[in-house]
Amino acid sequence: MINLNVINKDVNINNLRIFGVGGSSVVLIGDTEVIACSSIFDTPPESLIIGPLQPLAAESGGR
Amino acid sequence: MRNVRTSVVGNIKVINTIFSSILQIGDNVSVTPVSNSLAVQRQVSSYRGNEGNLDEFPIFKRPIPEGALTERLNMNIHNETSEIHVGNIYIFGLSIASVLQIGSNKMTAPENRTKHIRQLIPGGGGAGSVTPPAPVPPVAPTPVTPPAAASDGVRIEEEKP
């Protein structure tokens, strides 16, 4: 059993300046219970294709 | 909801929100933005506009492992004040499945899956080449014999008339 006691003191921020929030990340001004960010990024060697330019398969559905 | 504080913000300035990103002012229960993207770079900028079948790539289907919480957790939170104060917020960009929330929630679970594909022309510098090759005449996207399909590589379909 983990016992975690959190005491939140007074929070007073003047300026918050962020250039970018990207790739499943969170900026939260408030309270929460769970934050579970996940990101899968795939750049394997076989993703580099050298050959005549070919289109990818068309989108499924819709068009 | 549990004892949550009130968020007080003077000014917010956000220039861009793109690709399944969320700017929320207020409380909610859960935020779960999802973004699936194919990032394709081509030596010759020739795109059809309807390309990209996500079903062909396992990365968009495979389950994402979760961190296992093996022990029971007993969390006590004591808030000494009832408000969180922020004067100014300036954010240039919110992108792929990201969240800016002024307010409280129970759970935030953003999910992003990105598959990169780069397509180069043979003889035009090669894989190890750093500098781009000499100008290449524009190539129409006419399908030729597909290359040997890699496990998670690109499968090219013949063009249907």
* 8 Å CB contact between A23 and B113: no
Nearest CA in chain B to A23: B96
More confident residue, A27 or B129: A27
> Which of A12, A31, A4, A7 lies closest to B80 in space, CA to CA?
A7
* 8 Å CB contact between B156 and A55: yes
Q: Do B56 and A57 touch (CB under 8 A)?
A: yes
Could you tell me the sign of the dihedral formed by the alpha carbons of B142, B143, B147, B150, in that order? Answer: positive
Whole-model pTM above 0.80? no
Name the amino acid, one letter, at B77: I
Has residue B132 got a pLDDT over 60?
Answer: no
Has residue B67 got a pLDDT over 90?
Answer: no
What is the interface size between A and B, counted as CB pairs within 8 Å?
276
pLDDT at B154: 46
**Which segment of B20-24, B80-84, B120-124 scores lowest on mean pLDDT?**
B120-124
Distance CA A30, CA B29 (A): 12
Has residue B158 got a pLDDT over 80?
Answer: no
Calculate mean pLDDT across residues B41-63.
88
> Which of A41, A17, A33, A42 lies closest to B89 in space, CA to CA?
A17
Nearest CA in chain B to A27: B100
* 8 Å CB contact between B60 and B54: yes
